[in-house]
Chain A
């Protein structure tokens, strides 16, 4: 029997759906839902986490993220400009920095900042206590990634833009500030938003600095509750709260990319 190409395509697609549904059905029916919901979905335990989960843990997660992002973005911008500088030592430094910090685990850097800085500068401390240490500790790593993103953004602005600005009598610095960087940042807003999402999740490493009841963030908060209640439901709660931060941001990136697509 011969099927027409259209018929064949339809049958192939139906078969695909069937296999997909079957796999899901098998996994769902094979799992022991009773035990699973006892472990991960205990409403009473979940309820006991509030309002602290939001007023302290979620709040601190957001604050840590923003602080690290601002620190990382500032440093990243400086590094990107150094990387594109006509002065060789600046370029070498920026390249070395980026290679080093992209290659190190964020946990390690955070640890070094948390315990190395007090040793190196015994009479001084990073302002802001644990908040400051997190901003620096996570920001140092984020800066390396953001520097590369911003550099790519600057290089994506056509060369003619700088030439036009310079022929109008703008200095190189003025042209950068008024003409090149505004366009570069428009280009890199989507990847930078991704960087915030990654940072949000990296704040789960803050526990290595030793946090208190007021500086605790989501992961540590959930871990503590897990230990006292001997039940992993808090992890699910924490996971959902991370999504409360990250999902709207993904949505934002998508919106921005659509808008950028229209403008071009």
Chain B
């Protein structure tokens, strides 16, 4: 059974159709990176998986549960899906430790001692043991994003969604977040990652999906998509992203 199965997914915002028929499956343990120009619908696709956006048409199943079914208990499904946002979205009124324990306590009903132990474990995993007592505003962007990853991991998700996790970071802080994500991938976590970090996609992903204008243009192993792109749109996008200094005016 696939971890994610998306069939015929459409999403419109008013008159604007952002997703125009997406079919995609992600297998357990797979790391899939979604790349493409801004406005291509990558983030919307990701946000449909845990129903942060309500699809206009199509079905989405996560671990066999159809989230697009109106009778689906979406809160229960979301417990098993971690999500990491571009803007981190740490809870500003809580310390890092409380950020990692609050959903364990309030949603999973774990006791304080157990939640604290699991929080400590996951903060160690992302290298933030010393910052457990700090408030988000006292952390760098990279530290905040790692804390946000720990917060998701503490729920023991079977799937992690990453929505441009490094796009809001200063360049020198990108590496520490990618390192945590790479370690997660090595541990066998199933991951769907929307990213502009082509090097990460090339080195870590099992599969790269290129989207443009609301459709999947092509997908395949990174060596193929980056090395021998079949579609003209993919080639053009990669040229702009990988060799930005070679782009000529009016290209």
How far does the alpha carbon of A263 sit from the alpha carbon of B82 in the complex, in Å?
A: 28
User: Binding site of A, secondary structure by majority: helix, strand, loop or mixed?
Assistant: helix
Q: For the complex formed, measure the closest distance between the CB of B58 and the CB atoms of chain A, giving whole angstroms.
A: 20
Given A158-B89, A160-B89, A161-B89 in contact, is the A169-B137 Cβ separation under 8 Å? no
| Binary A-proximity of B135-160 (CB < 8 A = 1, otherwise 0) | 10100000000001001100100000
> How far does the alpha carbon of A11 sit from the alpha carbon of B152 in the complex, in Å?
65
Using CB atoms, name the residue of chain B closest to A171. B75
A168 near B103 (CB under 8 angstroms)? yes
Q: Which residues of A contact B119 (CB under 8 A)?
A: none
Contact of B91 among A164, A167, A264 (CB under 8 A): A164
Whether A161 contacts B91 by the Cβ 8 Å rule is yes
The answer to the question of A183 belonging to the interface, with a C-beta cut-off of 8 Å to chain B, is yes
- Mask, B184-225, CB within 8 Å of A = 1, is 000000000000000000000000000000000000000000
Q: Is B106 within 8 A of A174, CB to CB?
A: yes
- Nearest 6 A-B pairs (CB), nearest first? A169-B79, A168-B103, A164-B89, A160-B89, A167-B83, A169-B107
Contacts of B106 in A (CB 8 A): 170, 174, 178
Which one of B52, B75, B135 contacts A163 once the chains associate, using CB atoms below 8 Å? B52
Answer whether residue A179 sits at the interface, using C-beta atoms and an 8 A cutoff.
Answer: yes
> Once the chains bind, are A160 and B85 in contact (CB under 8 Å)?
yes
Task: Check B92 for interface membership: any CB of A closer than 8 A.
Answer: yes
Judging by beta carbons under 8 Å apart, are B76 and A169 in contact?
A: yes
Interface bin, chain A: 20 to 34
Whether, in the assembled complex, A186 has its beta carbon less than 8 Å from a beta carbon of chain B, the answer is yes
- Would you give 24 A-B contacts (Cβ < 8 Å), ordered by A? A160-B85, A160-B89, A163-B89, A164-B85, A164-B89, A164-B91, A164-B148, A165-B103, A167-B78, A167-B82, A168-B78, A168-B79, A169-B103, A169-B108, A169-B155, A170-B103, A170-B107, A174-B106, A174-B107, A178-B106, A179-B91, A179-B102, A263-B137, A264-B137
CB contact under 8 A between A166 and B78, given known A174-B107, A178-B102, A264-B137: yes
- Is residue A116 contacting chain B, with contact meaning CB distance below 8 A? no
B59 at the interface (CB under 8 A from A): no
Cα distance A183–B82 when bound, in Å? 23
Q: How many angstroms between the C-alpha atoms of A166 and B76 in the bound complex?
A: 10
Across the interface, which residues of B come within 8 angstroms of A163, CB to CB?
Answer: 52, 85, 89
A52 within 8 A of B: no
A263 to B92, CA, bound (A): 9
Q: Is B248 an interface residue (CB 8 A)?
A: no
A164 CB, nearest partner CB in chain B, Å: 4
B4 within 8 A of A: no
> For the complex, what is the distance from the CA of A170 to the CA of B102, rounded to whole Å?
10
* Other A-B pairs, 10, CB within 8 Å; known A163-B89, A167-B152: A160-B85, A164-B85, A164-B89, A164-B90, A165-B103, A169-B108, A174-B106, A174-B107, A263-B135, A263-B137
Tell me whether B93 is interfacial, beta carbon within 8 Å. Answer: yes
Contacting residues of chain B (51-84) with chain A, CB-CB under 8 angstroms: 52, 75-76, 78-79, 81-83
How many whole Å from B78's CB to the nearest CB in chain A? 5
The answer to whether A255 has its CB under 8 Å from any CB of chain B is no
Verify B151–A168 contact, CB threshold 8 A. yes
Which residue of chain B has its CB nearest to the CB of A263? B137
Q: How far is the CA of A247 from the CA of B225 in the complex (A)?
A: 69
Check B40 for interface membership: any CB of A closer than 8 A: no
What is the CA–CA distance of A163 and B50 in the complex, to the nearest angstrom? 11
